[in-house]
RNA sequence: GUCCCCAUCGUCUAGAGGCCCAGGACACCGGCUUUUCACGCCGGGUACGCGGGUUCAAAUCCCGCUGGGGACGCCA
């Protein structure tokens, strides 16, 4: 059974790049009927905190990337926090020392810094490498802290067949006797990673491109341990719109920000999947399709740039594909903290009708709320400039007459209502335009919204009449808080 | 500086030697629809970085160059 892991370090929120790595890993596990393992890499205590770990779990939960083993759910290969696995790392490291492929290094960070500085001062162009101070020594001092380093043979090269990039070989000359275990007993990234992947029986490791350089040292560790390495999949980076490393300056990078902005998790998944992965000309995918169609072969090799407009388009498309029930649920949730609305309109069908009219002009849930809110308030919030432009004295008089027409109609059925209105307009030699805009503003407070007859249908006769007549008397208003 | 990765429209990409004087999507520009704004529909422009090979044939294979990105920690 395939075992794939996602191993974030809790240094902050889960960003887009991490989310995509998690997604691809999850997709592979699910498509293979395998296990998706979540491990928290929190060995660098200085930079880590609980809140970050929780934010990452929350992000994954929201995205629907459920894990079979890891924090909260446990599993047979725990613990799933590196900070709780110190004994395991120590054990592996000492085993390597005993076997003679790794050694204790008593050099202090200060000594090493001095050596590094000297190297820099010498003007040498070669990168600094640990000079092998303790490589062959066994005169270990008592009670001194020591790090454990791997003995690396500088000859030859180390390589692997990457699942997305193909064959990669890196000369061992570029390696050095790197540290496995720090003097404080905590493992360095490469070592902790290998020990955990090994003891958690992971067989596919997917991670960002920036880890390509970590792979040779890890391979060397597997070799020293006498173990088979897993397969690696290095995903190209997600860059900012101008090609730099994606950061907060360029976009919302935390997935939770998209949740809060009213994006749908499936839309985030879809957009992320299409950044670097493709399936012919198809752009829109459900989560199930992604699982069915995903493969490493169709993951691209070059970096992709983040494009907010395309993301929004994908989001809008997914929003429009939601069932009326789900949509209503999402809108209700968004409305739950809105004290101004009259909850009676939530239950009598008004909400559902209103949502149906809003869906073509909204890309996110908050945008749906913006366009239908008029129908849930006792009276509309008037947009000042729309009011000034359309609610002229003449227009208000017309609206009052229109209200009278509506009151006299035998039916509230939209097509009949429209026919009657057309006749009424024709008799006065007026265009639809002359009525629609003032009416829209009177009814919704906004100059941009659904079609007039849709709005009338949403509001019903009583509320429509009231608003049309109020336009003449109470306006221009502003006491509700004028939005522009 | 050293090592590694990458290279098709503005952006995401399709393309695994002839189907490609390069297809789709977003964006952009026109138009239609029209009661505003959208949605929708129709149409348009724009790309294989450069130079060498290999081949009857190259966006596709090879080499070089250029350009971009990444990594060079007792960080992850």
ipTM: 0.94
Residue with tokens 């596919």: A204
Residues 212-251 of A with CB under 7 A from strand B: 212-214, 236-237, 239, 241, 243-245
User: How many whole angstroms from its chain centre is CA A83?
Assistant: 26
Q: Residue ranges of chain A with pLDDT lower than 50?
A: 475-484
Q: According to the model, what pLDDT value does residue A477 have? A: 46
pLDDT for the residue A476? 47
pLDDT the model gives residue A253: 84
- Tens digits of residue pLDDT in A48-66: 788 899 999 999 999 999 9
Distance A359 CA to B41 C1' (A): 19
The edge-to-edge listing of strands for the beta sheet with A231-235 is A35-38, A3-6, A204-208, A231-235
Nucleotide nearest to A212 (CA to C1'): B4
Per-residue model confidence (pLDDT) at position A404: 92
Enumerate helices (H) and strands (E) in chain A, giving the number of each. Answer: 19, 11
**Looking at residue A473, what is its pLDDT?**
67
| Residue A430 CB in 7 A reach of strand B | no
- CA–chain centroid gap for A155, Å, is 43
pLDDT of residue A422: 92
- C-alpha A348/C-alpha A195 separation (Å) is 60
What is the model's pLDDT at position A132? 83
Q: Would residue A95 show up in a list of annotated catalytic residues for this protein?
A: no
* Rounded Cα gap, residues A456 and A347, in angstroms: 18
Please state the pTM of the whole predicted model: 0.92
- Three-state DSSP class for residue A277: strand
| A332 CB contact with strand B at below 7 Å | no
Q: What is the DSSP string of A325-367?
A: HHHHHHHHHHHTT-TTS-THHHHSSHHHHHHHHHGGG-SSHHH
Q: How far is the CA of A12 from the C1' of B59 (A)?
A: 42
Q: How far is the CA of A271 from the C1' of B49 (A)?
A: 28
* Nucleotide in closest CA–C1' contact with A320: B39
For chain A, the distance separating the N- and C-terminal CA atoms, rounded to the nearest angstrom, is 58
> Distance of CA A313 to CAs A18, A252, A264, A317, Å?
22, 16, 12, 6
**pLDDT at residue A46, as a whole number:** 67
**Within 7 A of a protein CB, which nucleotides of strand B?**
1-8, 10-16, 23-27, 34-39, 68-76
Quick one: how far is CA A89 from the chain centroid?
A: 32
Comparing C-alpha atoms, which of A91, A128, A115, A402 is closest to residue A225? Answer: A91
**A425 CB inside 7 Å of strand B:** no
CA A391 remoteness from chain centre: 44
Count CB atoms within 10 A of the CB of residue A376. 21
Helices (H), A32-68: 50-63
Q: In this structure, what are the phi and psi dihedrals at residue A283, rounded to the nearest 5 degrees? A: -110, -35
- Alpha carbon distance A321, A313 (integer Å): 13
How many whole angstroms separate alpha carbon A68 and alpha carbon A30? 10
Nucleic acid strand B within 7 Å of A59 CB: no
Q: What is the mean pLDDT of chain A?
A: 91
Count the residues in chain A. 484
Q: What percent of chain A has pLDDT over 70?
A: 97
pLDDT at A362: 95
Write down the pLDDT at residue A257: 94
Q: Which residue approaches B38 most closely, CA to C1'?
A: A361
Considering only CA atoms, which residue is closest to the C1' of nucleotide B70?
A210
| Distance CA A230 to C1' B75 in A | 23
The pLDDT of residue A142 is 87
Distance CA A329, CA A257 (A): 20
Angle, helix A432-444 to helix A414-427, in steps of 10 degrees: 130
Q: What is the pLDDT of residues A77-94, one digit of tens each?
A: 979 999 999 999 999 999
Indicate which residue of A248, A353, A389, A433 is catalytic: A248
Task: Determine phi and psi for A388, rounding to 5 degrees.
Answer: -60, -35
One DSSP character per residue, A280-328 reads TTB----HHHHHHH--GGGB-SS-EE--HHHHHHHHHHHHHTS-HHHHH
Asked whether residue A166, judged by its CB, lies under 7 Å from any atom of the DNA or RNA strand B, the reply is: yes
CA atom of A390 to C1′ atom of B38, Å: 20
């Amino acid at each position: 059974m395939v075992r794939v892991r996602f191993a974030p370090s809790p240094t902050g929120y889960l960003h887009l790049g991490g989310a995509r790595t998690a997604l691809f890993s999850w997709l592979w596990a699910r498509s293979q009927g395998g296990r998706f393992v979540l491990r928290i890499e929190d060995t660098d205590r200085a930079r880590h905190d609980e809140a970050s770990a929780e934010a990452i779990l929350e992000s994954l939960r929201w995205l629907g990337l459920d894990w079979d083993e890891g924090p909260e759910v446990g599993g047979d290969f725990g613990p799933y926090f590196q900070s709780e696995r110190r004994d395991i790392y120590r054990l592996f490291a000492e085993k390597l020392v005993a076997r003679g492929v790794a050694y204790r290094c008593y050099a202090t960070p200060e000594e090493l810094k001095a050596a590094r500085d000297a190297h820099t001062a010498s003007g040498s162009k070669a990168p600094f490498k640990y000079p092998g101070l303790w490589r062959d020594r066994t005169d270990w001092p008592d009670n001194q802290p020591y790090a454990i380093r791997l003995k690396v043979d500088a000859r030859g090269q180390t390589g692997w067949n990457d699942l997305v990039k193909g064959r990669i070989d890196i000369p061992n000359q570029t390696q050095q006797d790197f540290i496995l275990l720090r003097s404080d007993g905590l493992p360095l990234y490469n070592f902790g990673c290998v020990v955990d992947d090994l003891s958690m029986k992971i067989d596919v490791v997917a991670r960002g491109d920036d880890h390509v350089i970590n792979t040779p040292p890890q391979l060397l560790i597997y070799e020293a341990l006498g173990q088979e390495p897993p397969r690696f999949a290095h995903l190209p980076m997600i860059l900012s719109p101008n090609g730099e490393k994606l950061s907060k300056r360029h976009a919302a990078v935390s997935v939770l920000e998209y949740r809060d902005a009213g994006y749908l998790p499936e839309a985030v998944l879809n957009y992320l999947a299409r950044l670097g992965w493709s399936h012919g000309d198809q752009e829109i995918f459900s989560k199930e399709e992604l699982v069915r169609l995903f493969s490493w072969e169709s993951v691209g090799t070059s970096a992709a740039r983040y494009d907010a407009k395309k993301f929004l388009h994908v989001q809008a498309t997914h929003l429009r594909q939601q069932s009326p029930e789900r949509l209503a649920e999402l809108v209700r949730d968004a409305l739950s903290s809105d004290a101004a609305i009259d909850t009676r309109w939530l239950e009598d069908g008004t909400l559902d009708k209103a949502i149906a009219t809003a869906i073509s002009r909204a890309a996110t849930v908050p945008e749906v709320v913006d366009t239908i809110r008029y129908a849930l308030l006792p009276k509309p919030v008037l947009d000042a400039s729309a009011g000034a432009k359309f609610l002229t004295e003449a227009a208000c008089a017309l609206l009052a007459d229109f209200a009278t027409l509506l009151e006299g109609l035998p039916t509230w059925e939209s097509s009949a209502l429209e026919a009657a209105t057309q006749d009424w307009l024709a008799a006065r030699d007026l265009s639809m335009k002359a009525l629609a805009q003032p009416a829209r503003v009177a009814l919704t407070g906004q100059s941009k919204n659904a079609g007039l007859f849709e709005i009338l249908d949403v509001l019903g006769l009583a509320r429509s009449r009231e608003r049309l007549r109020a336009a003449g008397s109470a306006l221009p208003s502003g006491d509700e808080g004028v939005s522009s």
